Amino acid sequence: MKSSSLLIAAFVLASALTASAADVQALWGQHCASCHGKDGKGQTKAGKKAGVKDQTDAAYQAGLTDEKMFKAVKDGLKEDGKEKMKPFADKLKDDEIKALVGQVRSFKK
């Protein structure tokens, strides 16, 4: 009886993790991929125009903290007074932003 309860609990947990992975993929596709690309390399028309960095570059990622990425997504980025990335504070919850930071980390090679 206990083993079937553990099996059910493991299945529920695995389903929740899969749903989270699917959710972050959907968020990435909806909010990030147009500039950063599906693969995080930034080789889209908009990404090239904005000078988006290659998120798969381990050296680039080494210079970023999760907190810095979180703030950039939430508050946006400006350079020389020009908006480089719009803020997503009104579109994404904090836990969604954290999931997107995790997505960026998963691109690192």
Stated length of the chain: 109
pLDDT by residue (tens digit) across 20-29?
A: 777 889 999 9
* DSSP summary character for residue 52: -
Residue 15: predicted pLDDT? 43
Q: Which domain holds residue 9?
A: 2-107
Give pLDDT tens digits along the chain (109 positions).
555 555 565 544 444 444 477 788 999 999 999 999 999 999 999 999 999 999 999 999 999 999 999 999 999 999 888 899 999 999 999 999 999 999 999 998 7
Query: Is residue 81 left, alpha or beta, with left meaning phi > 0 and alpha meaning psi from -120 to 50?
Result: left
What confidence score (pLDDT) does residue 66 get?
96
Q: Indicate the number of domains in the chain.
A: 1
Q: What's the CATH code of the domain at 45?
A: 1.10.760
Can you give the pLDDT at residue 19?
41
